[in-house]
Structure 1
Amino acid sequence: MVDAKPISTALCTKTVIAKGDTPLFEDCSKYRSIVGGLQYLTMTRPDIAFAVNKLCQFMHAPAQSHWAAVKRLLRYVKQTLHYGIFLNATAKPVLQAFADADWAGSVDDRRSTSGLVVYLGSNLLCWRAQKQKIVSRSSTDAEYKALADASAELVWICSLLKELRVSIPEAPILWCDNLGATFNSYEADDFLDEIAYKLEFKEVHHTCSDQQRNLLIASIHPCRKVIGNHMKAKLEEILGRLEFLLRQKDALGLVERAGKTTNYFLVDDSGIHGRTEDKEANISSVLSEAANRRHLGVVPIIGMGGVGKTTLAQLVYNDNRVKQQFGEFRAWVCVSEEFDVFKLTRSIFKEMGFYDCDSLTPNQLQVELEEKVRGQKIMLVLDDVWNDNYAEWDHLLAPLNSVAQGSKVVVTTRIQSVASVMSSVASPIHKLKESNDDDCWSLFAMHAFDDCSPSSYPDLVEIGSRISGKYKGLPLAAKTIGGLLRCKRDAGEWGKILESNTWDLPNDNIIPALRLSYHCLPPHLKQCFAYCAMFPKDFKFKKEDLVLLWMAEEFVLQANQVRDTETIAAEYFEDLVSRSFFQKFQRPDFPNCFVMHDLIHDLARSISGEFCFNGEEVNSGVPTNRTRHLYHGGIQFGEHVNLAQFMGVKVEVLRSLICYPNAQRHLQNKISRLRQLRVPDVFLYGGEDGISNLVAGSKRLRLMRLRGRSLERLPTNVTTLCKLQTLMVEDCQRLTTLPESIGNLKHLRHLSLARASMRLLPDSVEKLKDLRYLDLRGSEIERLPESICGMYYLQTSILRYCTQLVEFPYKMMDLINLCHLHIEGTTNVKYMPVQMGKLSKLQTLTRFVVGKQRANSFSLREFGELRNLQGRLELRNLENAVDEQSALGENLKEKKGLAELLFYWERNGANSDDDSTIDRIVLQHLQPHLNMRFVKISGYRGSSFPDWVGDSSYSNIVRMELRGCRHCTSLPPLGQLPSLEELLIKYFDSLVSVGPEFFNGSCSSTSQPSFKSLKKLEFERMPQWKEWICDDADGQRISFPLLKTLRIWECPKLSKINHLSLPLQRLATGGCNKLMTTGRLRWGLHELPSLSTLQLRDAQDVESFPGKKILLPSSLTDIEIYNLPNLKSLDCEGLKHLASIQTLEFWMCPKLESIPEEGLPSSLSYLEIRSCPLLEE
C-alpha cells in the first residue's frame, strides 16, 4: 500500500457491503489484524470511526468486497495523515454532547446505528458509532435510543471529571431532537382515541352489548387477539417506547428538578435606567414603621422573569438610607425554587454575620437566630421565591418574631400567589412593570456601544432601536443583547440579531432565565402553555376561548366529579396569569383580553418545537410530519408558507386547525384526510358540503367552530360526532334552523349560535342534558322552548341583543345550576319570569326589568333572594316600582358582589311632576353596597338626589354618570367621592347653577380638596345652566387637583368658567356661545402649563381667534376649530408664541379669509382646512 494512490473518502457511498457477500477473502488473519489496528487509530481519528466499526462486523467471515473496503480506508488514511485530535486550553470548559441515529440503516437486520460525540470546550473527549441492540420501529425510536446512550456517557464522563478534579461550571448540554417523548404521547393518545371511537360507534349504532363492550375493553391488552393485528402491533410499539424511556430515566437517576441560580446584591447604579419611582416607592415601604406580623413587615416585588425584580431589590438594599436604618442587620438570601427551611435559616444566620452554625441542629439554629436578632431592626431580602406554602413560610419567619418594630422582609417573586399567601403580613404589593422604550434603548446602547457614542454610528442606531423595541421592556433582554453586540460595528451582524429568534442567539441567557418559570410549572400547566405557541405574537387571548381549546385537547385533569372541567381549566388560566405568562391587555376596545409578552411567546415556541406551527410569521418555515397544531389568520397565507406542500405530507396527524378565509381555500380537497382532528376553527367556502366533508373524515372532533355567511343549513352528519363537546356556528346570517337530530350530541357542553337568523330552536335540544353553555347573542330568536328548562346542568346563557326575544320560558326557575344570564339589549322583554328567586346560584344577571303587576312576572320581593349577584346590573323600567321599593332596597344594599349598577326610568312620553316624589323614594331605597365602582342614573325625575348619592363612604366609585334628570335643580355632593375619576352630567333641563353643594355639600370652608381623584369631567345639554361657582365664601377652595379633560357641550347660557385645574390637558367646548364670547377672557388659559389640546365648535358670535388680550399656553400641540360661521380672522399675536403647536384644523368657517401674513409657527406639521371657501380659493 506504500505506492497506493491516496483517496479523499473513507467508504464508497455507492457500494453497499453486507453479510453474505461473495467470494470470501482467503486471509482472515490479515483482515482481522489490520482492522484491529485501525480500531486503535479511531481514538484520535473519529472521522474513521464509522467505517472501522462497519468493517468490524465482518471479522468472522470477511469477503473480497470487505477487503477492498479495508484497502480503500488505508488509502484514505494515507491522504489524511495530518488529521487528528488536538487538546486546547479553554477558558470556560463547557461539557456538551451531540447524539443522532439513522433509521434501519443496516440492510442485514434493519437495525439502526447510533452516533455520539462529547466535547469539553473545543476539545473532543469521546465519540462512538455503534449498531443498536434492538430494531427501532420509527426514526423517533432510534433517535431516543441514541439519546439514552449519550446520556449514560455524559453521566459517566461527569463522574470521571469529578474524580480528576476538573471543575465544570455549568450543567452539561445534550444536543438532540428532544421532542420525541411528546411525539410518543401524541401517538399513544391517537391510538387510545381510535379504540374509544370504536366503542362509541358501536354504542351509537346499538350493535355492542355490555358483554361485547367489556370484551372490547379487555382486548386493549396486547396479549388479546380480539382486535386486529395491526392495532396490537401498534400498541406494542408505543408501550415499548414508553417503557424504554422509563427504564433509561431510572437507570440514569433522573429527577424533575430545575437548576438554581444565584444573584448577588452588589449592583452598579449607573447601569440602571428608569426605575427611580419604583426604587423610591419600595424604599418608602422598607423604611416605614408599619408592620402587621408583630414587628415584621413584608414587601413583595412581583414581575415576570427578566423585568428587573432582583435589580430593584439590589438598589433598595444598597441605598444609604436603608444602610443607615438597618446597619449590620441586613441579609441577602437567594431562595430559588428549592425552599428548604433549614438551609435558608442557616444562610440568614451567616448573612447576619453569625458564622458558627454548622454544628447546630435545625431547632438549635432557629433558637440561636431568634436570640441574635432579638430587639434588633433587621432587613432581609429573599430573592427569587417560588414557594407559596403558608406553613413553610410561617416556619421560616418564626425566629424573626422577636425583632424590633419596623423590620422588613423584601421578597422578589414571579408568582402572585407567593404574595397573596403572605397578604396578612405584607405591605401593598409592588408589581414591577416593563420598562418604557426610552429606558430600554438607553440600557441597550450602554452595553452595545461600550464607551463609544451611538451618534457616531447612525446606521447601527436605527437597527439597535428596533432590536431594543423587539424585546418590549425587559431590561434583561436589553442588557443581554447589548452585551452580545458589544464592540461589533458591522451592520450586517446587528441585522442578523434583529432577524433572529431569541432562542437561536449565541450565548443567550434570556430564554434560560425565562425557562426557569416554565420548569417550575406543574405538568398540567406545561402543556397548556406550550399549546399557545400555535398563535401569533400579540394575539389577543380570551380566557373563555382558551379554556375550551384546552378541554378539547384533554389537557385538563379532573380528579373527581365534584368540580367541572371548565372550572378547573379556568383555574389553570388564572394560575398562568399569576405567574406572568399572560398579561392583561389594557385597551377598552379589547375588554377581558390577555396577551403574551414576545419573549414569553418565544419561550413557548422553543418548547413546542415542530408540534405547533404558525404560518403568519416570516421565519416560520414549513409544517412537518410532527405538526399537530396549525394556526393561520389567512391574510397573506401562501407568501411565507406553501400550505399545498404541507398537505402533501402527513396531514392526517393534525389535531388543531385554526384557519381563516384566505388560507382555508387550500384545504378544500384535503379536508377529508384530517382524521385525527380535534379542533377545527375555519371559514368554509363550500358551505354545507365543506362541513359535511370535514365531518366525514374527522370523527374525533371535540370542538368545532364554523364561520361563514354562505351557510344556510347545518349538515345532518354533524350530529353523528359522538365526542363533540363544543359546537360554535357563528356569523352565519343565513342559518335559520338546526337539524332535528341535534339532540344526538349527548356530550355537547357548549353550543354557540351567535348572530344566526334562526327564530326558534328545535324541540330536540331538550336531549342536550349535558349542556353547560348556550350562546344565542345577536340572533333573531323570539322564544326559547319550554323544553330548555330541562337542561339542569346549564350554567351560562347568553342572550345579548336578542332584540326579537319577547319573553323567557315559564319554568326558568328549574335551571337550578344557572350561574350567568346575560340579557343586556333584550329590549322587547317587558318582565322577568316568575320565581326567578329560586336560581340561588345565579351570579350574573346583567338586566332586570321591573314589570307591571302580573301573575306570571318576577316580583321585586323575590329579587332579594338572588344573594350571589356580582359584576354589572341594569335595573330597567323603575317607573313600575310603586310599593315594593323598600324590600328591594334593603336586599340591594346587601349585595356586596355588585360593582356596577345602572338605574333607568323609562317615560314613554309621560312627564308628570307627580312622579317626582315617588322616584326619590324609590332611589332612596335602592341604595347599593359600598363596594360599588360605577353608578349610572338615567331618567330620574326627582328634584334632588337621596343622601347616599355622593356620600363619602362610597370610596370605591371611580365612574359616575347622571343622565336625563330633567327635574333636578341641584347636583349631589360628588366632590366627596375620594376615588371618582370620571364624571358625566347630561340632559339636566332645570339646573341653573352649580355651586358649593357640588363639591362638599356645604358652603363652609374646608382644607380638603374636592374631586381629588377626578381626571375627566363632562357637562352636556344643560340649556338653563348659567353659572358655575368653584369657590367657597372665602374664595379659597382648591378643586380638581388631577383634572386632565374638561368637556362642556350645548350649554348656551353658561357665561364663564374660572379656576381651571392646573393639570388640565384637554379642553373642549361646543354650543356654548356666551362662554366663547364674553367669557373667554376669564378662562385664564395662559395659566394652564399642561394644556395640549383645545377644541372649539358651534359658536355663532366668535369673530376672531384667539381674540384680543387672550393668551394661549405655549404647551398647546393641537387646536381644532369647527363650525364658527362668523370667524373672520386669526390673531397673529395670539398664535406666534405657540412653539409646540403641531396640528391646526379649521372646519366650516365660511367667513375666514386668510391666515396671518407673518405665517404660522414653524413647529406646525399638520394644517387642515375644510369647508372654508374663502381660504380654499
Structure 2
Amino acid sequence: MGSKILVTTTSNDVAKALTSSIYRLRPLRDDDCWSLFYYYMVQQNPIRLEEVAIFEREIARNCNGLPSAAMDLAVRLSMEPDRSRWRSVLQADNQHSDSSRADLRYRLLPAHLKPCFSFCSVFPIGFEFEEEELVRLWMSQSFIQPYDQDLRMEDVGRTYFDLLKQRSFFQFSRFDRKSNRSKYTIPESLHKFVRRGRRIAEHGNGFAKNRHLSLMPQEKPSLFNTESVNDQLKGLYTLIIFDNSVTELPDDFTKKFKRLRALDLSHTGIHKLPDSIHHLKHLRCLQLGGTNITRLPDALCCLYFLQTLGLQNCSLLEELPKEMKYLQCLRHIDLHWDHDSLMAPGHIPRFVGRRHALRFMPPEMGLLVHLQTLNRFVVSEKNGCGVGELGNMTSLHGELLVSNLQLVRYAAEAKAANLEGKEHLQCLELQWNAVDKEAAKFRRDLFGRDSVESILSELQPHPNLKKMSIVGYMGTYFPSWLGSSLSNLITLALINCSQCAFLPPLEICRRCPSSISKACTRLQTWTAHFVVRVAQRRSEL
C-alpha cells in the first residue's frame, strides 16, 4: 500500500510549496461542536444532558466551529459550581472569546510554569526565539528550581519549555540552517493575552512599574533620558533592547539599573561596554550576540553572579577579559559562529580560510569547572592558555571547536585536554590553523616536539560524539580511534588535510550518513564505502 504523509499548516505558502493538493479544514458544524462540548463536560464533571441542553444554542455559537473552544468552554463551565451563573459566563465568553480561552489556558498551567510564560511578554508580537536563550533568561530570574540536586538547571528548564510547547503556548516557527537551531514563536492570541497584563509603552508614553522590560526603537529617548528614569525603572530585573541604532550605553546607565539580572543587547550597534559594568553586581545573563564588539572591559570579571555570557556571531571579538577565572558561577560562554565549518548550513563544511578574530583564551580557564557551554577554545603558547586547560571542563555540552592546535608541542598536553572525558559533547572540531608560511615554519620546527600524529592520537573524543571535523591536519595518517571508537558518529568531515596519505578502516562510514573530504590531496587508501559517500556528497556541494 505504501506510506502517506499528512502535513498540517496555517500558512498557504507552506502548503503550496509542499503539494498541489490542498485540503482546507472548515469549522465544525454546530451539532458537532455541541457533541464535543458535552463529551469534555462529562469528563470534567458527570452531568445529565438535560441540565446543559438549555444552553445548547449559546454553547454552539460560542465555539465558533473550533474544537479547542469546545474543550475550553467545557472546562470553564465545570469550574463554575453555581449553574445559575452559566449564562452570564457564556455571554462574557462570547464577547471576549479569545481572551477568555487564553486566560483559562493560563490559569490551568502548573504554578511553576506561569512565571516562565508571563516572562515572555517582553518579546514583541511575532518575535522568534530559541529554546536555549529563553531557558538561560529563566535561569537569570531564578524561575527554574531543580527538584533534585543532581539535575542541571538547563535540563529542568528544557522540561519547562517542552511542557509549554506541548500545551501549544510555544509553536515551532522554522529551523535556522545558518545557526543549526530551531526558532519558536508564541501564538498571537496567547501573546496578546500575556502582553495585556503589562503596560509597556509601545508609543513612547512612558514605562510601567515592571520587573521585565523590552525597549523598541521609538522608546530609546524615553529610557536614556535622565529625567524619565525614575524609581520604578531602577527596580528592573530584565532589559532587552530591540534597536540596532543603539551604539553605546550612557555613562550613568549601570548606576541607574543596579538590580538588572539580565541585559540583552544582541544585534544592536553596540561596539563596547562601559567600564562601569561592575556596578551591575546582580547581573546573571549578558547577551551581546551579533554585535561588533571587539573587547570586553576587565571590570566584567567583577560580576561574580554571571551565569551566561552570550557572544555568538561576535566575529570581531579579539580577546576576553584576563581575570575570567574568578567568575565561578559562569555556566555558558557562547562563542558560536555561523561560519565555523561544522556548523555551516546542512553540515557542509565551507572552510575557506576565514577566521574568527579571537586570538587566545584568558589564562587558567580550567578553573571554570562548572562551564556547560564553551563553543570555542583558541590554543595559545601563553602561560595558562594551553589546550590542557580544557581538562577539568567535563560538564561541557553541545559543540566545541579547538583551534591553533599547531601550537601544541607535546602529546602530553593534548592528553591533558581530556576530550575523552567529555561525554556530553555532541559536536567537535579540531583545527590546525597553520597555512602557507606558517605551515612551512611548522614543518621546520618539528625538532624537539612530538609528532602531530601522536598529538591527534591523544585528542580522542568520547564515543558519544555525533559530529566531528578535522581541519588543516598536517600528519600523514589518522589515528586508529577515528575508524573504530566513535560508534555514534553521524557526520565526519576531513578538510585541508593535505599531507595525509592513509585512512584507517573507516567502519563508522557504514552508519555515517555524511562523510566529507575536501582538499585531502594525498589520500591513497580509502574504503569503498567512504569513496561512495564522498562522491555523493561532492555532487551535492
Deviation at 1:818, TM superposition (A): 1.2
**Alignment of 1:815 onto 2:327:** yes
Aligned to 2:113: 525
Q: Find 1:573's aligned residue among 142, 161, 175.
A: 161
For 1:774, which of 268, 282, 286 is the aligned residue? 286
Picking from 241, 244, 248, the partner of 1:732 is 244
The amino acid across from 2:23 in the alignment is S
Match for residue 345 of structure 2? none
The residue that corresponds to 1:1143 in the other structure is: none
1:1076-1117 CA deviation, whole Å, 9 max, x = no partner?
xxxxxxxxxxxxxxxxxxxxxxxxxxxxxxxxxxxxxxxxxx
Distance 1:870 1:761 in 2: 28
Match of residue 265 from structure 1: none
1:890 and 1:756, CA in 2 relative to 1: closer, same or farther beyond 3 A?
Answer: closer
Which among 412, 430, 436 is matched to residue 6 of structure 2?
A: 436
Contact 2:515/2:537 (8 A) holds in 1: no
Secondary structure at the aligned position of 2:23 is classed as helix
User: Which of 889, 892, 897 lines up with 2:419 in the alignment?
Assistant: 892
Pair 1:901-2:391 in alignment: no
Does residue 948 (structure 1) correspond to residue 506 (structure 2)? The answer is no
Report the Cα distance in structure 1 between the residues aligned to 2:124 and 2:321, rounded to whole angstroms: 43
Cα drift, residue 969 of structure 1? 2.5
User: Match for residue 753 of structure 1?
Assistant: 265
Partner of 2:517: 985
Counterpart position of 2:24: 466
Q: Give 2:452's aligned residue.
A: 919
- Aligned partner (choices 476, 481, 498) of residue 966 of structure 1: 498
Which of 461, 468, 489 is the equivalent residue of 1:935?
Answer: 468
Deviation at 1:838, TM superposition (A): 1.2
The residue aligned with 1:847 is 376
Quote the residue 1:861 is aligned against.
388
How far off is 1:991 after superposition? Answer: 3.2
Contact 2:394/2:423 (8 A) holds in 1:
no
For the pair 1:878 / 2:405, whether they are aligned, the reply is yes
Shift of residue 821 of structure 1? Answer: 1.3
Match of 2:306 among 788, 791, 794: 794
Matching residue within 636, 651, 655 for 2:198: 655
Secondary structure of 1:872 counterpart: strand
1:527–1:871 distance in 2 versus 1, CA, 3 Å: closer
CA offset at residue 937 of structure 1?
Answer: 0.6
Is 2:509–2:515's contact at 8 Å kept on the other side of the alignment? no
Contact 1:975 1:998 in 2 (8 A): no
Matched, 1:832 2:365: no
- Give 3-state SS (helix, strand or coil) of 1:988's partner: coil
Give, as a single letter, the amino acid of the residue that structure 1 aligns with 2:361: M
Aligned mates of 1:547, 1:957 — CA distance in 2: 28
Larger Rg: 1
Post-superposition CA distance 1:422-444 (Å, at most 9, x none): xxxxxxxxxxxx97149xxxxxx
Amino acid at match of 1:987: A
Report if the CA contact (8 A) 2:364-2:385 is conserved. Answer: yes
Instruction: State the alpha-carbon separation in 2 of the partners of residues 782 and 537 from structure 1.
Output: 32
Give 1:658-677 correspondences, 5 Å limit.
667-668=203-204, 671-672=205-206, 674-676=207-209
- Tell me how far apart the structure 2 counterparts of residues 814 and 998 of structure 1 sit (CA, whole Å): 47
Counting only pairs closer than 5 Å after superposition, residues 129-144 of structure 1 correspond to structure 2 as none
* Amino acid aligned to 2:386: S
**What is the one-letter code of the residue matched to 2:368?**
L
Distance 1:557 1:738 in 2: 32
Q: Find the residue that maps to 1:465 and give its secondary structure.
A: coil
Once the two structures are TM-superposed, the CA of residue 793 in structure 1 deviates from its matched residue by 0.9
Matching residue of 1:1048: 538
Q: 1:799: how far off?
A: 2.5
Q: How many residues align?
A: 455
Relative to structure 1, is the Cα distance of residues 537 and 747 closer, same or farther in structure 2, using a 3 angstrom cutoff? closer
In the TM superposition, residue 877 of structure 1 has moved relative to its aligned partner by 0.7
Q: 2:195 corresponds to which letter in structure 1?
A: H
**What's the offset of the Cα at 1:762?**
2.3
Give the equivalent residue in structure 1 for 2:175.
Answer: 587
Supply the distance in 2 between the matched residues of 1:741 and 1:519 (Cα, whole angstroms): 37
Q: CA deviation at 1:726?
A: 1.7
Residues in 2 aligned to 1:555 and 1:805: alpha-carbon distance in whole angstroms: 30
Instruction: Describe the shift of the 1:533–1:748 C-alpha distance in structure 2 as closer, same or farther (beyond 3 A).
Output: closer
The Cα of 1:955 is off from its aligned counterpart by: 2.0
Is the partner of 1:1048 in helix, strand or coil? helix
- The one-letter amino acid of 1:876's match is S
Give the Å deviation of 1:961: 1.0
CA contact (8 A) 2:211 2:237 kept: no
Distance (Å, rounded) in 1 between the aligned partners of 2:294 and 2:116: 39
Whole-Å Cα distance in 1 between the matches of residues 194 and 364 of structure 2?
49
> Structure 1 residues 551 and 1047, CA, compared in 2 at 3 Å: closer, same or farther?
closer
* Partner Cα separation in structure 2 for residue 934 and residue 728 of structure 1: 34
Distance 2:258 2:361 in 1: 30
Deviations 1:491-511 (A, max 9, x none): xxxxx9998555556999899
Match for 1:882: what amino acid? R
SS of the counterpart of 2:234? Answer: coil
* Deviation (angstroms), 1:925: 0.9
Is there any run of 5+ residues in structure 1 with no aligned partner, and where? 1-273, 278-433, 439-461, 484-495, 606-611, 615-626, 631-653, 701-720, 1000-1010, 1012-1016, 1020-1045, 1050-1067, 1070-1177
On the 8 A contact 2:375/2:401 being kept in 1, the answer is yes
Q: 775-784 or 573-582, which moves further after superposition?
A: 573-582
SS, match of residue 423 in structure 2 = coil
1:939·1:965 contact (CA, 8 Å) conserved in 2?
A: yes
**Secondary structure of 2:286's match?**
strand
The structure-2 alpha-carbon separation of the partners of 1:507 and 1:739, relative to structure 1 and needing over 3 Å to count, comes to: closer
TM-score (norm 1): 0.34
- 2:499/2:521 contact within 8 Å kept: yes
Q: Distance in 1 between matches of 2:250 and 2:407?
A: 39
Matches of 1:497 and 1:463 in 2, distance apart? 32
Output the CA distance in 2 between the equivalents of 1:785 and 1:924: 38
Structure 1's 794 and 466: CA in aligned 2 closer, same or farther, altered over 3 A? Answer: same
Tell me by how many angstroms 1:938 deviates. Answer: 0.7
Measure how far apart 1:899 and its partner are: 1.4
Whole-angstrom distance in 1 between the partners of 2:301 and 2:398: 25
Counterpart Cα distance in 2 of 1:947 and 1:564: 34
CA deviation digits over 1:228-252, x for unaligned, max 9?
Answer: xxxxxxxxxxxxxxxxxxxxxxxxx
Aligned residue in 1 for 2:218: 685
Whole-Å separation in 1 of the counterparts to 2:72 and 2:306 = 53
SS at match of 1:685: helix
Shift of 1:963: 0.8
Residue pair 1:791, 1:815 contacting (<8 A) in 2 also: yes
Contact 2:405–2:431, Cα closer than 8 Å, also in 1: yes
Shift of 1:930: 0.6
Pairwise CA distance, 1:957? 0.9
Q: Which residue of 1 aligns with 2:89?
A: none
- Taking a change above 3 Å as real, the CA distance of residues 579 and 975 of structure 1, as seen in their structure-2 partners, is farther
Say whether the 8 Å CA contact 2:411–2:454 is kept in structure 1. no
Q: How does 1:397-546 map to 2 (within 5 A)?
A: 436-437=6-7, 465-467=23-25, 501-503=66-68, 521-526=109-114, 528=116, 540-543=128-131, 546=134
CA contact (8 A) 1:915 1:941 kept: no
**Distance in 1 between residues matched to 2:298 and 2:216, nearest whole Å:** 33
Distance 1:970 1:809 in 2: 42
- CA shift, 1:806, in A, is 3.0
Q: 1:629 aligns with which of 185, 195, 204?
A: 195
Rounded Cα–Cα distance in structure 1 between residues aligned with 2:223 and 2:22:
49
Shift of 1:922: 1.5
